[in-house]
Structure 1
Amino acid sequence: MLDIADELNRWAEEGRDFAVATVVSVGGSAPRGPGAALAVDSGGTAVGSVSGGCVEGAVYDLCVQALQDGRTVLERFGYSDEDAFAVGLTCGGVIEVLVTPVRADAPERPVYAAALVAASRGEAAAVARVARGPVELLGRVLLVRPDGSSGSGSSTSYAGGPGVSHEGSLGGRPELDRTAVAEARALLAAGRTGTLELSEDGARCPGGVTLLVESSVPPPRMIVFGAVDFATALVRVGKFLGYHVTVCDARPVFATRVRFPDADDIVVDWPHRYLRRTVTDDRTVLCVLTHDAKFDVPLLEAALRMPVAFVGAMGSRRTHEDRTRRLREVGLGERELARLRSPIGLDLGARTPEETALSIAAEIVAAREGGTGAPLTGSATPIHRDGGGRGTGAAGAREAA
């Protein structure tokens, strides 16, 4: 649901009734992961996707029905060997989809509205919904912030847990709410979307209540060092993939808004100095396009010692060899040098800035997802890998195969 928060937030602000279908679990080869959503408003407008096209029509009908009868349902879709034209996933996978009406008169509406506002603003928040369990609990929802607070609206605080509060309830069961808040905070801290199995009294054990927890986290950062023509194209691709993109260059004549209209931030500073003072994390991607030793070496010396997701540098193989020699001279060891992806990008035969940006982006996605970068034709590797470690915010669940 949170992967289409911008549109749903607009619908909520306009007072529209809508129903949202969210992928709860997947098995085998499935094109979308948990958290992927399709929503339908009372006028029949649809946004989002749960399957890349395979079962969209059937899910659309379920949303229309949910708007009419106000009932939350969990539906399973799989491939039918007996009838190849039956509604199902032709890729052979299985998905479970939770369909929830969010009508203006529903008591949970304010909780959904607050969650959509948070996600559309890029704030960290987690939404926990009952996907499986007693009928009276289906669709009940909690909104949890990183510190456990609701941020707005009504909230409930628990004794013994200072500062731990939430908005909404999973059916007025304090122990279940308490456990759900704690578990949702843990998934949010990891930037993950997934399911939890709890007993009705809140114990962490299977067989009672299944919760779908969707995490919305601020977008990961892509920092592009070097205000060159290739950077202009890479900024556009980075934004397309959901990154918050910063361009940094020490030369003010090149690092301008005119040259990089799509960048979120433009910084004029020496690259290594900016990197040391800015905020990064284990999702941050660093792309060094300067291929100038006076910028590259001090920058990469700092970058390769930081716990970021990806460090890549542009340049010829000769430039790479010279750069590696210089980095060894300043004290980097083989383990640190092994993290450097240089020359940056996959071998696509790219020549133009746009083709090169595609090459770089392809390597970033492959590194993040554990892909090989090899053609799928003739390959025996799974097409859809387990995406359990990804968050739905930002670059998370927005890509469908």
Structure 2
Amino acid sequence: MLDIAAELRRWCEEGRDFAVATVVAVGGSAPRQPGAALAVDAAGTAVGSVSGGCVEGAVYDLCRDALRTGQAVRESFGYSDEDAFSVGLTCGGTIEILVTPVPAADTRLRPVLAAALSAAADGRPVALVRVADGPPELLGRALLVRPDGSYEGSLGTGTALDRTAAGEARALLEAGRTATVGAGAAGGRCGEPVTLLVESAVAPPRMIVFGAIDFAGALARIGKFLGYHVTVCDARPVFATARRFPEADEVVVDWPHRYLDATEVDARTVLCVLTHDAKFDVPLLERALRLPVGYVGAMGSRRTHEDRLRRLRDAGLGELELARLRSPIGLDLGARTPEETALSIASEIVAARRGGGGLPLTGAHTPIHHDLSARMDMGRIDSVA
């Protein structure tokens, strides 16, 4: 539900009664991942989505029912169920939905959700833990967890489960991940297992575009569309101006390698080198390919690429480091214009992040919706998004 935090915070501030339906598990070709939410207020206003349109009508009705009964429920929709076909889930996937009423008069759950929504809407890191499966009386109970591990609220079964949940949430928050976590029988009624949904809200990932050229302008626009915090960096002040790149969050005048040395990056950061000038990109790539970032791509012809590799080897980079370089940058779309080239680069970034092959889906026998993170060893994590 943190994906619609800004709107739900406003609803809380206005004192609206509402119910929120959240995807807690998916299987097969489900279009949305755990954490995706649809909320409905007492007047029937809806925000968000849980299925890209497949089961929105049925989930909307579940939210209205939850507002009327005051009871949290968990429902499943799968393509093998007759109900799934009747509501439109014909894509071959399954989704598990947790529906939780959040009336204004609730003094236990509502303050925790309001605090989490406010933090997420303001861009402050926070994790929200909710009971996604377990004893019916615990469904929807919530715990807010901060980066330092402190928390507020309770999952309703005592401090043991709260401490366990806070530890799991802190680790996921550090990784910027949303996941379901099996808590075993910790605190559960009569040893009944409890499954927790941990939603992480973190600052948007960074896209740093080096080279203030027309292609950079198009890439900044599509980067913002994809949810990145976009920085354009170039050593030439006449080209690196906010007027030329209005969609960028910041425009930096500095030598690219010097800026990279001074700025913060992480595993979600993407670096796009569009300078295709050895005096800029070789010292920059020498540093970039040694950093734990998610993507490094460089523009240039194949001839430029071979010359660049030679220079980087001379600078001391090994073959494993060079293998991380995406060059020539982008997927083969036959792109010509800056906008088409930006789409090509963005497509490669998404494919690298999600584990896609960059091939046409027509005639393919690979999953439509898949994620590299789902194949990572995450210990006790059952599913990730």
Q: TM-score range by the shorter chain?
A: over 0.9
Report the Cα distance in structure 2 between the residues aligned to 1:298 and 1:83, rounded to whole angstroms: 59
Conservation of the 8 A alpha-carbon contact between 2:355 and 2:372: no
How far 1:221 sits from its partner (Å)?
0.7
Match of 1:2 in 2: 2
Deviations 1:211-236 (A, max 9, x none): 11111111111100011111111011
Q: 2:260 aligns with which of 275, 285, 299?
A: 275
Match of 1:193 in 2: 178
1:45-84 mapped onto 2 (5 Å cutoff): 45-80=45-80
Counterpart of 2:125, as a letter, is A
1:22-33 mapped onto 2 (5 Å cutoff): 22-33=22-33
Match of 1:152 in 2: none
1:69-218 mapped onto 2 (5 Å cutoff): 69-80=69-80, 85-87=85-87, 89-107=89-107, 108-149=109-150, 166-171=151-156, 173-202=158-187, 207-218=192-203
Conservation of the 8 A alpha-carbon contact between 1:131 and 1:138: yes
Deviations 1:248-287 (A, max 9, x none): 0101111111111111111110000000110011111000
Report the Cα distance in structure 1 between the residues aligned to 2:362 and 2:23, rounded to whole angstroms: 28
Aligned length: 374
Conservation of the 8 A alpha-carbon contact between 2:79 and 2:85: no
Q: Gapped runs of 5+ residues in structure 1?
A: 150-165, 391-395
Counterpart of 2:232, as a letter, is V
Report the Cα distance in structure 2 between the residues aligned to 1:207 and 1:387, rounded to whole angstroms: 32
**TM norm structure 1:** 0.89
Deviations 1:302-340 (A, max 9, x none): 111111110001111111111111111211121111111
Conservation of the 8 A alpha-carbon contact between 1:311 and 1:341: yes
Change (3 A) 1:101 1:81: closer
SS at match of 2:65: helix
Report the Cα distance in structure 2 between the residues aligned to 1:321 and 1:201, rounded to whole angstroms: 57
Report the Cα distance in structure 2 between the residues aligned to 1:19 and 1:387, rounded to whole angstroms: 32
SS at match of 2:306: helix
How far 1:71 sits from its partner (Å)?
1.2
Report the Cα distance in structure 2 between the residues aligned to 1:80 and 1:54, rounded to whole angstroms: 14
1:279-318 mapped onto 2 (5 Å cutoff): 279-318=264-303
Match of 1:154 in 2: none
Report the Cα distance in structure 2 between the residues aligned to 1:13 and 1:349, rounded to whole angstroms: 50
The answer to whether residue 6 in structure 2 is matched with residue 12 in structure 1 is no
Q: 1:357 aligns with which of 320, 328, 342?
A: 342
Conservation of the 8 A alpha-carbon contact between 2:267 and 2:292: yes
Match of 1:39 in 2: 39
Conservation of the 8 A alpha-carbon contact between 1:176 and 1:200: no
Conservation of the 8 A alpha-carbon contact between 2:205 and 2:268: yes
- Which protein has the bigger helix share? 2
Report the Cα distance in structure 1 between the residues aligned to 2:208 and 2:253, rounded to whole angstroms: 13
Match of 1:369 in 2: 354
How far 1:388 sits from its partner (Å)?
4.7
How far 1:87 sits from its partner (Å)?
2.5
How far 1:190 sits from its partner (Å)?
2.1
Conservation of the 8 A alpha-carbon contact between 1:33 and 1:387: no
How far 1:198 sits from its partner (Å)?
2.1
1:222-233 mapped onto 2 (5 Å cutoff): 222-233=207-218
Report the Cα distance in structure 2 between the residues aligned to 1:281 and 1:54, rounded to whole angstroms: 35
Deviations 1:145-182 (A, max 9, x none): 11012xxxxxxxxxxxxxxxx11111151112111111
SS at match of 1:331: coil
1:236-255 mapped onto 2 (5 Å cutoff): 236-255=221-240
SS at match of 2:152: strand
Moved more, 103-112 or 380-389: 380-389
Conservation of the 8 A alpha-carbon contact between 2:78 and 2:84: no
How far 1:387 sits from its partner (Å)?
6.3
Report the Cα distance in structure 2 between the residues aligned to 1:51 and 1:173, rounded to whole angstroms: 34
Counterpart of 1:143, as a letter, is L
RMSD: 1.8
Q: Gapped runs of 5+ residues in structure 2?
A: 376-383
Report the Cα distance in structure 2 between the residues aligned to 1:228 and 1:94, rounded to whole angstroms: 45
Match of 1:162 in 2: none
Change (3 A) 1:132 1:84: closer
Change (3 A) 1:112 1:137: same
Report the Cα distance in structure 1 between the residues aligned to 2:137 and 2:84, rounded to whole angstroms: 36
How far 1:15 sits from its partner (Å)?
2.0
Higher RCO by CA contacts (8 Å cutoff, separation 6 or greater): 1
